[in-house]
Amino acid sequence: MAAGVIPTNEGRTCVFAATRAQRFENELRHDIENGYRRVIAECDPDLAAALATARRDGAYHGFPGRAGFFRRSAGPGWALVGDAGYFKDPLTAHGITDAFRDAELLAWAIGKGPAKALEEYEAARDEAAGTIFELTDQIAALEPDLESLKAKHRLLNEEMAREARAAASFDARAA
């Protein structure tokens, strides 16, 4: 289980609850509001109390999860970026970064030239995505072993730092 609080726009806050796929299916899918409140109360009773008096500003959105995948990212006359080409569970909050990264890699490949460059785009995307993809799959399983989860988050942190360094080099490569 997991829960979190994300400040968004104009003073609003997104409060999320996450649970294993089986529990979502059995308990939340047909009663999102009560299931959501139960998960939050189990994770953080103070947050549940704060939520009880908060004003809701939109519909509840449930996401049952889906397995991650890689697709071919380019072919003659077409290319995919972002979730269309490569998807992983949103729990590690990384899909937007991936979409921007893909757009950058693809623009660089197109600027470089013909079909061969698009193959390089796919290879560069797969290499950049690899470890974070695997870690996301493991973290999103929401196994209850907190020590192992902490270790995975430490690795994720290292991988994200590596990715940030790689993204910082994009400008130099384009020059």
Ligand X SMILES: Cc1cc2nc3c(=O)[nH]c(=O)nc-3n(C[C@H](O)[C@H](O)[C@H](O)COP(=O)(O)OP(=O)(O)OC[C@H]3O[C@@H](n4cnc5c(N)ncnc54)[C@H](O)[C@@H]3O)c2cc1C
In terms of DSSP bridges, do strands 74-75 and 69-70 run parallel, antiparallel, or are they unpaired?
Answer: unpaired
Pick between residue 38 and residue 85 the one whose CB is nearest to ligand X: 85
Pick between residue 52 and residue 84 the one whose CB is nearest to ligand X: 84
83 contacts ligand X (rule: CB under 6 A) = yes
Give how many residues touch ligand X by CB under 6 A: 11
Pick between residue 68 and residue 82 the one whose CB is nearest to ligand X: 82
Give the residue, chosen from 18, 74, 94, 129, that forms a contact with ligand X under the rule CB under 6 A. Answer: 94
User: Please, which of residues 31-70 interact with ligand X by CB under 6 A?
Assistant: 63
Residues binding ligand X (CB under 6 A): 63, 82-84, 90, 93-97, 99
